[in-house]
Amino acid sequence: MNSVKPFIKKDDQALPDHFGVTIEFVTGKKEEFEVAERYFVTETKVFEILTGDNEWLNFPLANILSIRFDKRFSKVVDIRRKAHALSKGTGKDA
C-alpha cells in the first residue's frame, strides 16, 4: 500500500487521516480508494474525491452503482456531528 499523507482538516485529533471508499460502477467494476476528502457536486452530478496520494478524481454519478464508506468515515461523521451540535449551542450529541 502506498504511503498516504493526512489531508482531513484536523479540528479534532481523533479524526482519522483518511477513510476507505469503495465505488462500484455500473459496468460491475469495483475500485477502492484511501480518501482524505469527498464531495458530491450537484450542479455537475459528479462525485469528487481527494485521495491520500493527493490526486483529485471525478466520477460522473451516472457511472456509479454504489459507494461504500468504511468505519473510519462513520467516525468522521460522528465527530463532526457532535462538533456541529456544540457549535449550535445545544450541547447535545446529534
Model confidence over 29-41: pLDDT tens digits?
999 999 988 999 9
Q: What's the pTM?
A: 0.73
Mean pLDDT of all residues in 54-61 = 96
Residue with cell 499523507: 5
What is the 3 state secondary structure string of the chain? CCCCCCCCCCCCCCCCCCEEEEEEECCCCEEEEEEEEEEEECCCCEEEEEECCCCEEEEEHHHEEEEEECHHHHHHHHHHHHHHHHHCCCCCCC
Question: What average pLDDT does the chain have?
Answer: 84
Q: Tell me the per-residue pLDDT of 2-12, one tens digit each, with 9 for 90 and over.
A: 444 445 456 67
The pLDDT of residue 6 is 47
The pLDDT of residue 58 is 96
Burial of 52 (0-12, 13-18, 19+ CB in 10 A): buried
CATH 2.130.10.10 is held by the domain 19-87: no
45 torsion bin: left (phi>0), alpha (psi -120 to 50), beta (else) = left
